Amino acid sequence: MLWNYWHVGCASSQLGNKPKAIRIGDTGIAIYRDSVGRACALLDRCCHRGVKLSDGHVAPTGHIACAYHGWQYDMEGRCVHIPSLTEGRKIPVKCKTQSFPVVEQDSYVWIWMGDGNPIPEIPPVIPDFEKHAWHQGVTLYNCNARMLIENQFDTCHPMFTHPKSHPSWFFAKANKSKDHSYETRITESGFVTFTPPAKVGSDPIPPDNMGVTRFELPGRVLLKQKSIFSDFQIVLHVVQVTDTTSRLEWLQKVKGEKHNVQWIEQEPLINAQDRFVLESAQLNYSNGGDDFEQSVEVDHVTLLLRKIVALAGAGEWEGVRNTLQQRRVINFRY
């Protein structure tokens, strides 16, 4: 789990007056809005008898009240009211629960679960968010978060996994299979990959590219595919829930002059198709580990992603980023 990063708690539109239970890296968190609509996040455990605070309610004072004996907490996690105490009795100072820094930005409630004060102070902004109209939704997967991120960079699967949904499936249908290359480049917060490669590493990404996908730590994927088939642009945030479950908070650009964000309840077909293969694989990883795995040339991007995530997990990414091979060109048939 990459703790020292901002993580998406939920979409802004999905947080109302009722407390909401979420999990990030196996930690239960109660998120709610106080009396002035500010998003707050507390460890989802009352310090009295352990009831989940997300099962409670928000009192008119804006404090979250436990469902069992009504203890109330402020946004810093301090217990500020214990109904059973008689006049003059003080609230013991140890009565508190953990609080997490929260920022609401780009239609998401972001939570900092790392050490100390958040660095950066606010989450990285979503590029051009205010310029476009978006559909927004969430899909839960019974698979590890890293598998779900790897899937977004897996160039060759759409023609098998995504019939009638993915732009790359339509591309494969309309074209004879032929040889292509993609390039990967290390960036400040991860890497970028695109097809076709630039002529030399110092060239910018070719403007006539068939698609550009970026990975930014800890779990952001930005994908743009512009072709005669579609103008496909998605922004994904993958959040690790447990070792074998993850949450995909997705945004897809839609046609529209004005910026707006519309919540979509239904699971997109592409997500359901990926869920089918990823959950199938997860069962095998859970049962037998990953020693059986074999990879071929096109899987370079997957292995690069694993390396970056492992380095970040060990706190070594910043230190060794510049020593990694900055650019690779990989051949594949599609």
**Position among 8, 40, 66, 304 found at the interface with ligand FES (CB under 6 A):** 66
Rounded to 5 degrees, φ, ψ at 311 are -65, -45
305 binds ligand FES (CB under 6 A): no
Distance CA 55, CA 88 (A): 29
Specify the DSSP element, H or E, that contains 318: helix 317-320
**Position among 18, 38, 49, 259 found at the interface with ligand FES (CB under 6 A):** 49
Nearest-CA neighbor of 153 among 207, 225, 203, 206?
225
Are the C-beta atoms of 139 and 250 separated by less than 8 Å?
yes
Contacted by 66, from ligand FES, Fe ion, none: CB < 5 to 8 Å by type: ligand FES
SS3 68: coil
Q: Which residue stretch of 20-28, 65-73, 144-152, 263-271 sits at the interface with ligand FES (rule: CB under 6 A)?
A: 65-73
* Site of interaction with Fe ion (CB under 5 A): 274
Beta bridge partners of 167: none
Beta bridge partners of 21: 30
Q: Which residue stretch of 67-75, 201-209, 259-267, 314-322 sits at the interface with ligand FES (rule: CB under 6 A)?
A: 67-75
**Angle formed at CA 310 by CA 304 and CA 314, multiple of 5 degrees:** 145
Nearer to ligand FES, 47 or 109 (CB): 47
**Position among 3, 68, 229, 263 found at the interface with ligand FES (CB under 6 A):** 68
Nearer to ligand FES, 68 or 129 (CB): 68
Cis-peptide into 196, omega within 30 deg: yes
91 binds ligand FES (CB under 6 A): no
Query: Cα separations (Å) of 238 from 25, 55, 93, 148, 312?
Result: 11, 25, 37, 7, 16
Q: Which residue stretch of 44-52, 124-132, 202-210, 299-307 sits at the interface with ligand FES (rule: CB under 6 A)?
A: 44-52
**Least Å distance between CB 89 and ligand FES?**
15
What is the DSSP track for 119-158? SSSSPPPPTTGGGSEEEEEEEEESS-HHHHHHHHT-TTSH
Distance CA 310, CA 328 (A): 19
**Position among 5, 6, 71, 182 found at the interface with ligand FES (CB under 6 A):** 71
Nearer to Fe ion, 274 or 299 (CB): 274
Beta bridge partners of 192: 185, 214
69 binds ligand FES (CB under 6 A): yes
**Position among 23, 27, 51, 192 found at the interface with ligand FES (CB under 6 A):** 51
Are the C-beta atoms of 172 and 210 separated by less than 8 Å?
no
Contacted by 210, from Fe ion, ligand FES, none: CB < 5 to 8 Å by type: none
Contacted by 274, from Fe ion, ligand FES, none: CB < 5 to 8 Å by type: Fe ion
**Least Å distance between CB 184 and ligand FES?**
50
Nearer to ligand FES, 53 or 239 (CB): 53
Q: Which residue stretch of 64-72, 172-180, 205-213, 325-333 sits at the interface with ligand FES (rule: CB under 6 A)?
A: 64-72
- Residues lying near ligand FES in the complex (CB under 6 A) are found at 46, 48-49, 51, 66, 68-69, 71
